[in-house]
């Protein structure tokens, strides 16, 4: 069958496809994205598991390095304001509203109330509230702070401080720093939209939060009752009994504040009722190791997913036959496992592993189906080419030649270069020639084939560099040599790598079927597309691709 009757589309592309109508049927839509993500996750599961485990370990170490914080809270319920002087309840009693609740919150957060609690409990000497040692980040940034503030000078000459001034300044600064840290750790808030106020304190000391929260409640009650006591005292001595009752409540609240507990006697004049005492916490409220570790695992998984996505975007290496067919639109005719590349891998096919022999047999069947119209008329010329050396093209060609020879057909193999002498001591020809030598000799030089396991083998390139330089593999002379070899049986061309020589394109034009060999994990999609484009421009008849070193 000649190719002079090809349609214009076939003549321009020289690319044979299977099922062109369904080539892009499954490449669109969100299902393809989900399928690709699942395949990437399975393919890089080791990386994802490692990143997740690393995130879990890092989060666990971070959680264990954090100081334990204990939290305790006391609650009180605001009540309608009662009159300080008996007999005026109907006039002075005030109802509750949101404005009063917000006002009471500001009273609890006021510096006056907090300082009374701070001083009564003697927290100025608490090492937790004092100046903390500088962190590593502070040590690193301290030169920048000095450099930034080094240019600031005062307007006049400052009097050098005395020893007493420095001592007082240090004491004042230490108290301010301790009180500031204390105020940050104490929090007062409303519970929802109710009139319940919750006072909470956090500390690394398990016993301190309950003392501070109870002391703050007692200070609030003492302040409210003391205000009423002052109002009664201003009313005169006729209300001495009332004044004594208020003084007793104030004294009880003051004593409770100093001890960090609740008042020992009822305080009905506080306009608030204590509904929950602060208790010593049994376990730290923070950090939450389980939550931190879970978050670390999620961050590790996310980081691993980002690495996989970046690798997929910038490192487009072929890994499977389905991926190769999907990305290029060219059918993949076979996946062949790794058996090496070179003379050590050219043993008889039946000595190879079962998976490899089965893959070669399936590849031969796929080629026979693709070239069925040619096979009915004559022997065929099959060319195999890879993008770079070391892709296993030579081993694949010889294994395919062995399989065809085993089926009873004569096979001629034009290999990329002559392999050294076999280890079994097989004799070599006295004067080996090459296809390049025959091309420049005008067909006058006799081709001396080497018999290797029943396969007639002849190297394409010559040992003479000058012959390789002047050889034109597109000349009709080379075509006649290949036709002569075709008369005896099938011909296999082990073409040079495309990135090293354009001789592969010249020889591919003489083949009836061209197979591009991609190496799994090495050949990229861009290289495959570039190779197919070069073969199309050379008008080579590409029938499919092959993936070598696939995990079968």
Chain centroid offset of residue 221 CA = 56
What does R_g of the chain's alpha carbons equal in angstroms?
A: 45
Order the strands of the 186-190 sheet from edge to edge. Answer: 186-190, 196-203, 70-78, 272-276
Order the strands of the 411-415 sheet from edge to edge. Answer: 332-336, 542-548, 513-519, 381-386, 490-494, 411-415, 455-459, 450-452
**Between 6 and 415, the higher pLDDT residue:** 415
Mean local confidence (pLDDT), 448-459: 86
**Confidence band of 201 (pLDDT split at 50, 70, 90):** very high
* 193, burial (CB in 10 Å: exposed 0-12, middle 13-18, buried 19+): exposed
Residue 153 pLDDT > 70: no
Q: What is the pLDDT of residue 43?
A: 81
Mean local confidence (pLDDT), 443-463: 80
| 177 vs 319: CA distance, rounded Å | 62
Residue 295 pLDDT > 90: yes
Mean local confidence (pLDDT), 533-552: 84
Could you give the percent of the chain with pLDDT greater than 90? 18
Chain centroid offset of residue 254 CA = 59
| 255 vs 219: CA distance, rounded Å | 10
| 434 vs 467: CA distance, rounded Å | 9
**Confidence band of 14 (pLDDT split at 50, 70, 90):** very low
Residue 470 pLDDT > 80: yes
Most confident of 122-136, 405-419, 499-513: 499-513
Mean local confidence (pLDDT), 94-104: 77
* 87, burial (CB in 10 Å: exposed 0-12, middle 13-18, buried 19+): exposed
| 53 vs 99: CA distance, rounded Å | 52
**Confidence band of 448 (pLDDT split at 50, 70, 90):** confident
Chain centroid offset of residue 328 CA = 27
**Confidence band of 298 (pLDDT split at 50, 70, 90):** very high
**Confidence band of 464 (pLDDT split at 50, 70, 90):** confident
Residue 528 pLDDT > 70: yes
| 345 vs 398: CA distance, rounded Å | 9
The single-letter DSSP state of residue 219 is H
Burial 300-323 (b: 16+ CB within 10 A, else e): bbeebbeebeeeeeeebbbbbbeb
Q: What is the pLDDT of residue 46?
A: 92
Asked whether 382 and 462 are in contact (CB, 8 A), the reply is no
Mean pLDDT of the chain: 79
Mean local confidence (pLDDT), 51-67: 90
Q: What is the pLDDT of residue 15?
A: 45
Whole-structure pTM over 0.85, yes or no?
no
- pLDDT tens per residue, range 123-145: 888 888 877 665 554 566 567 66
Q: What is the pLDDT of residue 152?
A: 46
Domains of the chain (ranges, CATH numbers): 40-66+287-315 (no CATH), 70-130+169-276 (no CATH), 318-548 (3.40.50.300)
Mean local confidence (pLDDT), 444-467: 82
**Confidence band of 297 (pLDDT split at 50, 70, 90):** very high
**Confidence band of 13 (pLDDT split at 50, 70, 90):** very low
Q: What is the pLDDT of residue 406?
A: 85
Q: What is the pLDDT of residue 463?
A: 83
Mean local confidence (pLDDT), 272-293: 84
Residue 552 pLDDT > 50: no
| 541 vs 12: CA distance, rounded Å | 10
- pLDDT tens per residue, range 223-276: 888 888 877 776 665 567 777 888 888 888 888 888 888 888 887 777 788 888
Range name among 196-210, 233-247, 474-488, 509-523 with the lowest pLDDT average: 233-247
Residue 150 pLDDT > 70: no
Q: What is the pLDDT of residue 1?
A: 39
Q: What is the pLDDT of residue 291?
A: 92
**Between 98 and 48, the higher pLDDT residue:** 48
Mean local confidence (pLDDT), 173-199: 88
**Confidence band of 156 (pLDDT split at 50, 70, 90):** very low
Residue 336 pLDDT > 70: yes
* H/E stretch holding 237: none
């Amino acid at each position: 069958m000649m190719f002079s009757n090809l349609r214009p589309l076939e003549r321009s592309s020289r690319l044979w496809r299977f099922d062109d109508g369904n080539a892009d049927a499954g490449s669109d839509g969100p299902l393809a994205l989900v399928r690709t993500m699942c395949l990437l996750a399975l393919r890089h599961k080791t990386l994802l598991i490692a990143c997740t485990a690393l995130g879990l370990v890092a989060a666990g170490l971070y959680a264990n390095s954090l100081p334990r914080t204990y939290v305790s809270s006391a609650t009180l319920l605001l009540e309608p304001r009662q009159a300080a002087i008996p007999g005026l309840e109907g006039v002075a009693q005030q109802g509750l509203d949101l404005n009063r609740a917000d006002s009471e919150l500001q009273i609890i957060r006021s510096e006056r109330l907090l300082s009374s609690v701070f001083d009564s409990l003697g927290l100025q000497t608490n090492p937790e509230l004092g100046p903390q040692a500088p962190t590593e980040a502070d040590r690193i940034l301290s030169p920048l702070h000095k450099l930034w503030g080094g240019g600031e000078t005062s307007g006049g000459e400052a009097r050098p401080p005395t020893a007493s001034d420095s001592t007082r300044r240090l004491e004042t600064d230490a108290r301010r720093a301790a009180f500031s840290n204390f105020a940050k750790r104490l929090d007062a808030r409303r519970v929802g939209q109710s009139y319940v106020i919750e006072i909470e304190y956090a500390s690394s000391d398990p016993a301190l939060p309950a003392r501070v929260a109870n002391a703050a409640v007692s200070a609030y009650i003492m302040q409210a009752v003391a205000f009423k006591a002052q109002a009664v005292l201003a009313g005169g001595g006729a209300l001495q009994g009332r004044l004594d009752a208020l003084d007793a409540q104030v004294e009880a609240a003051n004593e409770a504040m100093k001890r960090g507990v609740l008042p020992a006697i009822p305080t009905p004049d506080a306009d608030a009722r204590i509904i929950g005492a602060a208790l010593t916490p049994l376990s730290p409220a923070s950090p939450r190791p389980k939550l931190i570790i879970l978050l670390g695992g999620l961050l590790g998984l996310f980081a691993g997913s980002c690495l996989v996505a970046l690798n997929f975007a910038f490192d487009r290496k072929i890994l499977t036959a389905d991926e190769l067919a999907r990305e290029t639109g060219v059918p993949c005719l076979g996946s062949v496992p790794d058996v090496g590349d070179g003379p050590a891998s050219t043993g008889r096919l039946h000595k190879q592993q079962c998976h490899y022999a089965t893959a070669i047999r399936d590849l031969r069947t796929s080629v026979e189906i693709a070239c069925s119209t040619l096979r009915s008329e004559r022997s065929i010329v099959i060319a195999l080419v890879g993008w770079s050396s070391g892709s296993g093209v030579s081993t694949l060609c010889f294994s395919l030649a062995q399989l065809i020879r085993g089926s009873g057909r004569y096979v001629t193999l034009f290999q990329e270069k002559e392999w050294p002498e076999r280890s079994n001591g097989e004799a070599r020809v006295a004067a080996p020639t090459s296809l390049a030598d025959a091309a420049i000799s005008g067909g006058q030089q006799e081709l001396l084939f080497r018999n290797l396991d029943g396969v007639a083998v002849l190297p394409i390139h010559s040992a003479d560099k000058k012959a390789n330089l002047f050889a034109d593999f597109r000349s009709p002379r080379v075509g006649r040599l290949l036709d002569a070899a075709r008369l005896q049986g099938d011909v296999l061309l082990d073409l040079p790598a495309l990135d090293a020589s354009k001789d592969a394109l010249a020889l591919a034009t003489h083949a009836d079927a061209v197979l591009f060999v991609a190496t799994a994990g090495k050949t990229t999609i861009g290289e495959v597309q570039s190779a197919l484009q070069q073969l199309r421009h050379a008008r080579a008849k590409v029938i499919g691709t092959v993936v070598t070193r696939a995990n079968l």
